[in-house]
Amino acid sequence: LLTDTRESRWLPALLARSYSKMLINAALGFDSWLVMRHGLSTCTSTKSRLGCYFCSDIVAPENSMKDRTLDQQCTVTRPGLANIAASMAVELMVSLLHHEDGVDAPAPAPSTTSTSYSPGIGAQNDNVSSPLGIMPHQIRGSLTSYTLMTPTIPAFQCCTACSDAVVDAYKKDGYEFVKKACCSDSTFLKDVSGLSAFQEEAAAKMEAFMEEEDDWDLEDEE
């Protein structure tokens, strides 16, 4: 999956989770890139299921092309970036197909000895590697520093693309759900997925924490 905008990835992400189809996602910036595989419906626990492209976001998909200049629309990249990302996507897909668990192949846990995001060579074992090597969840590369990271991100329970609530709503209403999601403002998906309630709860906890901190400051002054 390689599309021009963030929001254009929403429906393919939803369909892949709903029908348990393999999805290899590639996204390009000016000097950075991301290649990842999406978690599927066969893993019912959000703790064990790998996240999708939207699981790291706390906002719903919206028009990312509006009021943006050409370079801000990620239409301009460094010369070798697309080829690198495409090659990594193909290699990830082939490794996934060679794993005994196929699309359900687990990803390695973050290493405690190399970096906080990337597994080291020692992370390879029978569960998280295929005959072609380890099976990362994400591959993030930068041409500014010429570095790679392979973080593993679990599924977000309030994800606007792959959460159980969104998948169930799609399976129930089909095209009508998709039409509402595309024609309504971003609050529709946030309400369905539970992201709105999640944000309100987080805001309430932050407000309570700040009030408690102010009380501590007053006590210290006294």
Active site residues: 74
Helix (H) or strand (E) holding 108: none
CA 211 to chain centre: 33
Pairing verdict, β 32-37 and 129-130 = unpaired
Euclidean distance between CA atoms 158 and 201, whole angstroms: 13
Q: Evaluate whether 23 touches 37 at the Cβ level (below 8 Å).
A: yes
Q: Which residues contact 92 (CB under 8 A, 6 or more apart)?
A: 24, 35, 37, 136, 139
Q: Evaluate whether 36 touches 91 at the Cβ level (below 8 Å).
A: no
